[in-house]
A = this chain, B = another copy of it.
Amino acid sequence: MTRIACAQIDPTIGAVSANLELTAGAIADAVAQGADVVVLPELATSGYMFADADEARSAALSPGGPAFDAWRSAAGGAIVVGGFCELGDDGLLYNSAAVLDADGMIATYRKTHLWDREKLIFTPGAALPSVLKTRHGAIAVMVCYDLEFGEVTRRVALDGAELIVAPVNWPLFPRPEGERPGEVITAMSTARINRVVIAVCDRAGVERDQPWTEGTVIVDPDGWVIAEAGTGAGLAMADVDLSATHDKTLTELVDLFSDRRIDLY
């Protein structure tokens, strides 16, 4: 079994040092509870609601720099996936996710589908997420709005992803009483039609008048929510059998992948 933990924290915009301390603490807490995979929100080191690109730049980090030492030190035996504001070698800003363990950075993924005003600040990533073969499973990392594109989620599932991990900052949208957030509904649908596990880490609180959905969820391959962080800061944690995602059949004659009509699309 693989223990997944999503830390729905509330970083402070621009306060990079404080946010590194907060996130390293959240990682250490999750690892102390036995987590194998620890997920942090999108832009966890910087906050989200930048006034402009200059403000984002002042909170940007290089993935090769020492900023992530605290995450590595806290990681123990876990894989950590967390969002950060990246200053690329090319001098451009990216809305990125770091994937690392105690030994160092495994990969950096740059968000390919930028949401709303992010387009005024960040450069979109040039490559879709790859499937990372880690000690805790085959993991595809995407960031927030990426998850809404079935083109990407299907691609990584076909490429062998057992687990889709997504740091997000979901701005709160209105929804009917009793309904799950729309983004969670899409995560559930994505999990069930691809038979993968999905771990989404949202953030908590309100930032510059923007309330967040606080929609952190872990979804099993049947599409059911098996852990939530709930309201406010908190941890969602669940044990999952990632090998169950290898079987795409529902009956002897139903296989979600081979039933695709690839002759027609």
**What residues of chain A have their CB less than 8 Å away from a CB belonging to chain B?**
112-117, 119-120, 124, 127-128, 145, 148-152, 154-155, 175-176, 179, 182, 185-186, 188-190, 192-193, 222-224, 250-251, 253-254, 256, 259-261, 264-265
Cα distance, A119 to B116, chains bound together (Å): 45
Q: For A259, what are the chain B residues with a Cβ–Cβ distance below 8 Å? A: 113-114, 145
Q: Quick check: B175 and A224 within 8 Å, CB to CB?
A: yes
Q: Which of B127, B151, B188, B264 contacts A189 (CB 8 A)?
A: B188
Residue of B nearest to A252 (CB): B116
Identify 25 residue pairs between A and B in the complex whose beta-carbon atoms are under 8 Å apart, listed by A's number.
A113-B259, A114-B259, A116-B253, A120-B253, A124-B261, A128-B261, A145-B259, A148-B193, A149-B193, A150-B154, A150-B193, A151-B260, A151-B261, A152-B265, A155-B265, A175-B224, A176-B224, A182-B188, A182-B192, A182-B223, A185-B185, A185-B189, A185-B192, A186-B192, A186-B193
Q: Which of B145, B149, B179, B261 contacts A224 (CB 8 A)?
A: B179
A180 to chain B, nearest CB (A): 9
A32 to chain B, nearest CB (A): 29
